[in-house]
């Protein structure tokens, strides 16, 4: 998967780039072949004023013409924003994959009916009765 980093008003350090790579690799590892690439944008919304204002927006391009989607997270720290957004990427790819699977197989997974050939059961012998006319097990 190809990851493209775009920065606008804040510098992205090498350690933050490595963090983005690790988190996206973890988020997409189980979907190998379904993701073509991602564009990651990290922005400081308030600039020098501070506050909970680091936004990470990840645009993911899916393979096989499945389109793309965007997830976003706003946190006080860019590392936390990347972590939250990468978790949302994992959830979104899982949801898209399950919808595509349901569309291929029908709305629900259909259970196959298995017919087992059988022979009719023989009549069970009746329990032996006692001289009083009652079966031993009824006493």
Distance of alpha carbon 25 from alpha carbon 66, whole angstroms: 20
Tens-place pLDDT, residues 8-52: 888 889 999 999 999 999 999 988 888 999 999 999 888 777 777
Distances, alpha carbon 33 to alpha carbons 3, 10, 70, 135, in Å? 14, 32, 19, 70
pLDDT digits (tens, 9 = 90+) for 58-106: 999 998 777 899 999 999 899 999 999 999 999 999 888 777 666 666 6
Q: Which CATH class is domain 2-105?
A: alpha beta
Domain boundaries, the chain: 2-105
Distance in angstroms (rounded) separating the CA atoms of residues 46 and 77: 13
């Amino acid at each position: 998967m190809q990851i493209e980093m775009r920065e606008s008003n804040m510098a992205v350090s090498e350690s933050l780039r490595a963090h983005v790579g690790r988190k996206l690799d973890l988020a997409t590892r189980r979907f190998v072949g379904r993701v073509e690439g991602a564009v990651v944008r990290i922005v400081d919304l308030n600039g020098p004023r501070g506050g909970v204002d680091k936004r990470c927006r990840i645009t993911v391009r899916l393979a096989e013409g499945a389109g793309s989607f965007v997830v976003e997270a706003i946190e006080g720290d860019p590392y936390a924003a990347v972590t939250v957004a990468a978790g949302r990427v994992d959830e979104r790819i899982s949801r898209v994959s399950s919808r595509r699977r349901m569309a291929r197989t029908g709305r629900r997974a259909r259970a196959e009916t298995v017919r087992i050939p059988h022979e009719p059961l023989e009549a069970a012998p009746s329990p032996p009765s006692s001289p009083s006319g009652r079966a031993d097990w009824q006493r």
